[in-house]
Chain A
Amino acid sequence: MYLAIREMRFAKVRYSLIAAIILLVAFLVLFVTGLARGLAYDNAASIQNMDATHFIMEKGSNHRFTRSEVGESLLYRASASAGEENVEPLGVKMTTVTADGTAQKLDVTLLGMRANSWLMPAVTEGKAISPQAPGEVLVDRKLKDTGIGLGTVIVDQASGLKWTVAGFVSQESFSHSPAVFLGEDQWAQLQRKSAAGPKAEAAGGTTYSAIAVKANKTLANKLAAALPAAEIVTKSDAVSAIPGYKEEQGSLWMMIVFLFVIASFVLAVFFYVVTIQKTSQFGILKAIGTRTAYLARSVALQVLLLSTASLIVSVLLVRAMEAVLPDGMPFQLQLSTLALTCAAFILMSLAGSLLSVWKVTRIDALDAIGRAAA
């Protein structure tokens, strides 16, 4: 401690420069992490907002909502097995709509569910939909920017169905497209209008994309046993299977990992060079009786101080940045993610100091004897 701090005080320029580099890298790490989390949330917000833990999907659908088709019979069997209150049908369909009277086309995702279902998000403006008022839908707030307001009628291009916007919800999207929430009856109509699959006819009723389930591990296993023809998918698997999700996250994660590695290497090289420069100094310190462990701790402490100080400043910078970012830029850095990233960053820095610590332990006190300069 004594040596570490005094050396940094003495060689201010040298240590400030390296701190500046670490600060920039740490800032980039936090920023890209925030962006990755933001994009992840923006992409799959509607699914992530759901209280469901698992989704029951058709076998062979590759965990994709848009590919899966489950019938009502499966819903009954799932209810029987998991309890009615833990099971809700969910329809997912990506489509294009236009606001009535305009020519502008909008890509949206239709999410069909029971009006009183626990999947239904809270309304932030307007009123909730109910079975008594068919033809009413809830839409994501982002659609406001395109001129849609309460009472606007939107038309589905594929089926020609018309819905009236009854209310807005916030932060609801699927595969980056804003979500439109339909009641059960509208979803059924939509299914009838679109060319119904052979399975739907065979089942003799409405089909859904998946069945959302609230379940713990035991219940999920029980469901899997009870429904051999279907697949029980965890929420996170379902989210990663959303088109574009994995690709987007993959490239961002690669950047983050590389930044971690770069930070650790920059620190490793800097401290290694400095340590080599100070070889005879360490020799003298060892000769006058300083323990190797003390010197090694001193080097590690310097790395820790530099990376922690740089991290603190970069967290402040990222928070400031977040405040001025435009709304359209998805950025999300929760406290838990932030803490985890910071911890990983500090661990990587310490890994970078290992080389120098090793070097310090190799320096022989004998170097101090018979030397003219330190």
Chain B
Amino acid sequence: MRHRLILRNVTHAFEDGGQRRMILDALNLQVAEGELVAVMGPSGSGKSTFLSIAGALLEPTSGEVLLDGEAIAGQYKQALSDMRLRKLGFIFQSANLIPYLKVREQLMLVAKLGGMDKTNATERARELLRELGLDHRRNAYPDKLSGGERQRVAIARALMNDPAVLLADEPTASLDASRGMDVVRMLAEEAKERGKSAVLVTHDERVLPLCDRVLYLENGCLLEK
């Protein structure tokens, strides 16, 4: 089985008022393709830092991050930017869509940035939107969508460039229970069907049954309970 996201001995620390604060301490994680891993933890446990490092937004103090076998350490900003574009799919909290782009255009933008051929992109966007039940909303602006629809668009956008890894940052934070369940179910299904490694950072215990594994971030390490 292939592991598309690997974090090996990742440590992150910073100086805070002369004191060294350890956020992540030799953290290890491997996510297999088709697997959805939930990461739980209290506020301040370093969930955001973990996600930023896994998402190639932040370079760890030490340790190794491999996306689809490719290391992110020592890359230039532009190369990291391209890596996020091609290898990663982000799903953020509540409203993370671009307000002035229609649903279809949210996906087309990603395709365009990734240099995808226009006909292919149109076809792929249509297919993704159909799969996520958004076909009838494809010409709507985000402010006309419900919270659940917005997160579904975000999932479609994250999948547009066929990334190796999906990262979701509390995607159910602003949704009610059943909508939240729907969104995570879709995330799990897409990860399975398309062979992605998916990580879901969440507070929401109701969605845990939908995940393959649940990890807790404590004292800078991920533990299985």
Tell me if B84 and A287 are in contact (CB < 8 A).
Answer: yes
Which B residues are in CB contact (< 8 Å) with A368? 57, 90, 92, 96
The stretch from A134-142, A235-243, A289-297, A332-340 touching chain B is: A289-297
Q: Shortest CB–CB separation between residue B83 and chain A, in angstroms?
A: 8
Tell me if B94 and A6 are in contact (CB < 8 A).
Answer: no
Tell me if B57 and A365 are in contact (CB < 8 A).
Answer: yes
| Bound-state Cα–Cα, A9 to B98, Å | 13
Known: A289-B88, A294-B113. A366 touches B52 (CB 8 A): yes
Any chain B CB within 8 A of the CB of A323? no
Which A residues are in CB contact (< 8 Å) with B3? none
Q: Which of A273-329 contact B (CB under 8 A)?
A: 281, 284-292, 294
Any chain A CB within 8 A of the CB of B215? no
- Chain B interface size band reads 35 or more
Which A residues are in CB contact (< 8 Å) with B99? 10, 281, 374
| Bound-state Cα–Cα, A374 to B90, Å | 14
| Bound-state Cα–Cα, A255 to B143, Å | 45
Which residue in A3, A289, A370 is a CB contact (below 8 Å) of B169? A370
Any chain A CB within 8 A of the CB of B211? no
Which residue in A7, A11, A366 is a CB contact (below 8 Å) of B58? A366
Any chain A CB within 8 A of the CB of B64? no
Any chain A CB within 8 A of the CB of B105? yes
Which B residues are in CB contact (< 8 Å) with A284? 90, 92, 96, 98
Which A residues are in CB contact (< 8 Å) with B134? none
Which residue in A11, A287, A288, A370 is a CB contact (below 8 Å) of B100? A11
Q: Shortest CB–CB separation between residue B54 and chain A, in angstroms?
A: 10
Binary CB contact string for chain A from 352 to 374 against chain B (1 if under 8 A, 0 otherwise): 00000000000001101111111
Tell me if B84 and A288 are in contact (CB < 8 A).
Answer: yes
Kindly report which residue of chain A lies nearest to residue B58, judged by CB atoms. Answer: A366
Which of A9, A291, A292, A365 lies at the interface centre, i.e. has the most chain B CB atoms within 10 A of its CB? Answer: A365
11 CB contacts below 8 A, A to B, read A3-B101, A288-B158, A289-B82, A289-B85, A366-B57, A368-B96, A369-B51, A369-B55, A369-B169, A372-B173, A374-B92
The 5 closest A-B pairs by CB, nearest first: A289-B85, A10-B100, A289-B84, A370-B48, A7-B100
